[in-house]
Every structure is written in C-alpha cells, then in structure tokens.
C-alpha cells in the first residue's frame, strides 16, 4: 500500500467525502444558529458563528491547503530532467497511439489514443520514465515489459536522461549514451562523505538521506568506478535497527539504476547517483548499511564484494557490509544524522591481549538496589581481534564477591559491533545496563570488566590502568543505596 493514500489531508483519495463535509458544516452551522436564536441570542451569535466558520476555513487552509504559504503548498519547478522530457514528447506525432506511464500521461494529451502503461491494446508508441517509482508496475516489471517489447519488433525511437520512447518497428534496440545521464551527478556539498573503497574497484563517495514530496524516506548513494568493472554488480541498501536486523532493505526493491545502468557500462571517474526507492519506514531511527554483490546472484546467496577500505566505518558480515551512520526522525518528519558519541567521563589506558584497548568508561557514582545500572565502555582497536570475543561486567562487593553479572557481544549506539569487524584505529562506545538485585545490600561496590573467548571461557590477559587479578579491569566505584 501507498501510505499517503491513507492520509485525509494529502493527495486526492479523500476527495469523495468533501461534499458531505461541506454539507455537514452548513447544516450544523444552521442548526446551531437556530438553536441560539431560539434562546434570544441570534443578533449576537450570528456574527460570531460567521467569524468561527471563516476562522476554521482560514486555519484549515493554513495547515492543509495548497495555496502559496499553506501547509501542503509545493512550489513547482522545472528541472533539466523535465525540460528533456519535453524534447522527447515533441517527437511523438499527433496520430500516435500512446501508452504512457501515469505521471506522463497528461503530458502526451492531444494524441489520437492514450493508454496508461502497461496497457497496450493497439498502441504503437510507449513513453516511460525509468528513473523512479513506476506505478502501477514494480520497476522490475517495467524493465521486463520493455525487454519483451524490444524482443517483439519494437525499437528505441528516442532515449534521454532516463526517458524512453519506444515505437513499433523502430530498428534500434540499444540505449544511446544520453539515456544514462539520468544517473550522472556530482556529490552534493551537503552529502555525508564516506570514501569507502570496495575490492571491485569501486568507491562509495558519499550519501544523502532525504524525504520525497510524500514524506517517504529516500537514500541516494554516490558511487564511482575507479577502473572498468568487468562484472555487473548489485547494490544492497539496508535500514537496520539497533540489533542489526533490517527494518527494510533493497532485496525486493532494488535501486532502479541497477536495472538500467549496469556497472559494466560505467565510465571510470564518473559519479553515479544510486537512488533507493522511496519507503515509509516504520521506525524513528535506523542505521544505514551498504554492500555490493555479483548481480548474477543475490545479496543473501551470491558472491559479495569485500570492503577494501572502510575509511574508519564499521564493517559487518565478514567484511562485506559497511555501516554508514545512524539517523533519527525529526519533528517535521524528516531525518537527521545521529550525533557522535561524547568522550568518556573516566579516562583509562587498559588493554586486553594485544589488539584491544579500553580507553575509558562512564559509570554512575550511585545506584539503588533493584534498578538498572547504566554504564558505557570506550574501546580502541589496536588491530583486528582474532575472533569475536565477548565482554563481561561484574559488580563485586568489598570482599570481592560477585553480586551481579552481565555478558555480551560489543555493541554501539547504532547496532552490533562484533570484534572481527574492528579495524586498527576504530573506536566505539558500548553502552550497557546491569540489572541490580532487589535484595542488594546498601554499601560500596566496584564494577569490573573483562574480555573472554565465549567458546572456551578463557579470558584475555588484562594490563594497564586499574588492571587486577583474574584479568579484569576496575572501571568505577558505586555506592548502592536501599530501594
């Protein structure tokens, strides 16, 4: 379903109830006026009722109307893409029988016959824009329909900036270079810089996260082939929750550029804008993750392209999925990047083994029995750890006895951070909560942490600031109060 269809203040889908709303308003106002007149207040209340009706109309227009300055007003602009459409439309003769996409249909008026694509019947001309959503077809189906037509005696009469004009009997079946300019774009100044290099060779220069005219989430990647690409690649875009599980991804909604502009056709050095299909995300925050794979297969099953240089960004799934950053919803319905982690309150210089350093911690000075104790660890990867080690936190009393415990795999504010995905120089803040027993006696306690092999239970050797026996590091003293 298309979520804006379910909103009464946008688009046209609520239009059938408008006459009833108007009639109801008139009848209701008349009845209220009659009721007030019967009580001797007609002369006073009639002007007030009129003012109330006018105020309601003005308020509704300001919030939901389409006049300039109103809530739903959208200023119309003519883009270069629009102007190039006009040049293609001018090539359609008046006696043509045209099947055009819904959004293009009004612009081909004046021809002998017009159908909404993919309805064909006796059509001899097809006009489509393949650069975005293609209601009533899925973009995959648009590509399949065009391929079927080209294999059945149709040809390319014109193609420019993602617009495609097909005509029955036209001899050319290949797209001209001008067709692919729809996906050529410079990296916008306000884009997030990524500079992630894949082993393809291909570089993800940056990305933008925006909303379209219907408020749906749109992500655009800016990619560059650094050398001729011998294999067609697919692009996987995922919106992950804090557990690393996709809220939505591109498995069944691939960017249309991958359907029409194969990577083997890319010119090295040219920036290609890869725009995800719009989506209404049922979440208030997400983490953006991207990967490449051999287009002959699929992301879950086919060969993936490793990340050669993540530019300091976390890499998941055996080095094939790079996390680009986290985003949260704004009050206006847009999206903004999550802020970076604050530096730790307590600075440490401790280590576990040769690859893992503990730079700092955040631990509250007091807590109450039965509450959840929040704390955070700031890690530094000296090198990539040999395996996915686990972390433990123990709350111990003055005698060194354990009274509460937590074990976990590292995690930052955006999602899981398994240690085999750490790269030399990576830092992350791992925030956790430790449940305190209801019966915990008031007094002084210490929070200690360590790192261990979850399969064997063997701990990594601890050294440095506050390192103690049993390969643990003390990160803070806590005074527990009675509940």
Residues 305 and 376 in one domain: no
Specify the 3-state DSSP secondary structure of 179: helix
- Rounded distance between C-alpha atoms, residue 376 and residue 361, angstroms: 5
- Rounded distance between C-alpha atoms, residue 231 and residue 225, angstroms: 12
- Determine the pLDDT at residue 12: 65
Residues 106 and 85 in one domain: yes
Domain final residue pick, 282, 309, 337: 337
Residues 251 and 382 in one domain: no
> Across residues 6-19, what is the average pLDDT?
70
The answer to whether position 443 is within a domain reads: yes
- Rounded distance between C-alpha atoms, residue 73 and residue 99, angstroms: 30
- Determine the pLDDT at residue 218: 97
Residues 432 and 370 in one domain: yes
The answer to whether position 290 is within a domain reads: yes
Residues 118 and 144 in one domain: yes
The answer to whether position 70 is within a domain reads: no
> Across residues 260-279, what is the average pLDDT?
96
The answer to whether position 73 is within a domain reads: no
The answer to whether position 354 is within a domain reads: yes
CA-closest candidate to residue 250, choices 286, 216, 275: 275
Note the pLDDT tens digit of each residue in 322-368.
Answer: 999 999 999 988 999 999 888 999 999 999 999 999 999 999 999 99
Q: In this predicted model, which residue has the larger pLDDT, 348 or 15?
A: 348
The answer to whether position 360 is within a domain reads: yes
Laid out side by side, the sheet with 346-352 consists of 427-435, 372-381, 356-362, 346-352, 462-464
The answer to whether position 229 is within a domain reads: yes
Residues 257 and 299 in one domain: yes
DSSP 95: T
Structure tokens at 360: 């700092």
The model's confidence at residue 276, banded by pLDDT at 50, 70 and 90, is very high
Note the pLDDT tens digit of each residue in 91-139.
Answer: 999 999 999 999 999 999 999 999 999 999 999 999 999 999 888 889 9
Structurally, how many domains does the chain consist of? Answer: 4
Residue 57's domain spans which residues?
3-64
- Determine the pLDDT at residue 60: 83
Structure tokens at 42: 């007609």
- Determine the pLDDT at residue 8: 64
Other C-beta atoms lying within 10 Å of the C-beta of residue 188 = 13
Q: What is the CATH number of the domain that holds 476?
A: 2.70.50.60
> Across residues 133-149, what is the average pLDDT?
92
Domain final residue pick, 159, 182, 205: 182
Residues 352 and 397 in one domain: yes
Residues 51 and 110 in one domain: no
Q: 246 — phi, psi (to 5°)?
A: -65, 125
Note the pLDDT tens digit of each residue in 45-84.
Answer: 777 777 888 888 888 888 878 888 887 777 878 889 999 9
Average of per-residue pLDDT values in the chain: 92
- Rounded distance between C-alpha atoms, residue 296 and residue 277, angstroms: 21
CA-closest candidate to residue 162, choices 292, 230, 252, 259: 259
Cβ within 8 Å of residue 1, ≥6 positions away: none
Other C-beta atoms lying within 10 Å of the C-beta of residue 145 = 19
Q: In this predicted model, which residue has the larger pLDDT, 60 or 152?
A: 152
> Across residues 438-452, what is the average pLDDT?
97
Calculate Rg over the CA atoms of the chain.
31
> Across residues 262-273, what is the average pLDDT?
97
Residues 192 and 298 in one domain: yes
Share of the chain above pLDDT 70, in %: 96
Note the pLDDT tens digit of each residue in 217-241.
Answer: 999 999 999 999 999 999 999 999 9
> Across residues 151-173, what is the average pLDDT?
96
- Determine the pLDDT at residue 7: 65
Q: What is the CATH number of the domain that holds 233?
A: 2.70.50
Domain final residue pick, 152, 182, 212: 182
Residues 146 and 242 in one domain: no
Q: pTM for this one? A: 0.84
């Amino acid at each position: 379903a298309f979520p804006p269809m379910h909103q009464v203040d946008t688009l046209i889908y609520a239009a059938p109830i408008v006459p009833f709303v108007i009639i109801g308003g008139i009848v209701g106002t008349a009845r209220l006026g009659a009721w007030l007149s019967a009580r001797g207040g007609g002369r006073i209340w009639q002007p007030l009722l009129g003012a109330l009706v006018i105020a309601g109309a003005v308020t509704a227009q300001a919030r939901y109307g389409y006049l300039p300055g109103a809530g739903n007003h959208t200023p119309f602009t003519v883009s270069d893409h629009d102007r190039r459409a006009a040049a293609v439309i001018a090539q359609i003769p008046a006696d043509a029988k045209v099947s055009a996409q819904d959004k293009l249909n009004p612009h081909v008026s004046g021809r002998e016959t017009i159908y909404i694509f993919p309805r064909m019947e006796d059509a001899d001309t097809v006009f489509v824009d393949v650069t975005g959503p293609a209601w009533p077809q899925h973009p995959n189906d648009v590509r399949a329909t065009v391929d079927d037509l080209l294999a059945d005696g149709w040809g390319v009469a014109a193609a420019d900036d993602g617009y495609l004009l097909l005509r029955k009997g036209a001899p050319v079946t290949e797209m001209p270079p001008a067709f692919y300019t729809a996906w050529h774009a410079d990296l916008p100044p306000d884009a997030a810089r990524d500079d992630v290099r894949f082993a393809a060779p291909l570089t993800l220069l940056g990305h933008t996260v925006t909303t379209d005219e219907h408020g749906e989430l749109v992500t655009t990647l800016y990619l560059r082939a650094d050398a001729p690409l011998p294999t067609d690649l697919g692009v996987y875009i995922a919106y992950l929750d804090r557990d690393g599980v996709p809220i939505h991804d591109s498995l069944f909604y691939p960017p249309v550029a991958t359907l029409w502009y194969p990577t083997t056709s890319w010119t090295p050095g040219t920036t290609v804008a890869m725009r995800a299909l719009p989506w209404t995300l049922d979440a208030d925050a997400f983490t953006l993750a991207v990967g490449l794979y051999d287009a002959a297969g699929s992301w879950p099953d086919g060969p993936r392209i490793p990340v050669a240089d993540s530019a300091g960004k976390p890499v998941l799934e055996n080095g094939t999925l790079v996390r680009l950053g986290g985003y949260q919803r704004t009050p206006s319905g847009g999206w903004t990047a999550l802020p970076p982690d604050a530096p730790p309150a307590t600075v440490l210089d401790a280590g576990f083994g040769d690859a893992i350093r503990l730079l700092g911690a955040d631990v509250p000075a007091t807590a109450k029995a039965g509450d959840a104790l929040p704390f955070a660890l700031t890690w530094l990867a000296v090198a990539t750890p040999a395996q996915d080690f686990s972390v433990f936190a123990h709350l111990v009393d003055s005698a060194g006895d354990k009274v509460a415990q937590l074990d976990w795999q590292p995690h930052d504010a955006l999602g899981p951070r398994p240690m085999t995905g750490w790269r030399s120089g990576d830092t992350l803040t791992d925030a956790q909560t430790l449940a305190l027993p209801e019966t915990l006696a008031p007094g002084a306690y210490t929070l200690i942490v360590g790192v261990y092999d979850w399969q064997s239970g063997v701990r990594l050797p601890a050294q440095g600031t506050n390192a103690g026996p049993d390969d643990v590091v003390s990160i803070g003293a806590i005074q527990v109060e009675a509940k």
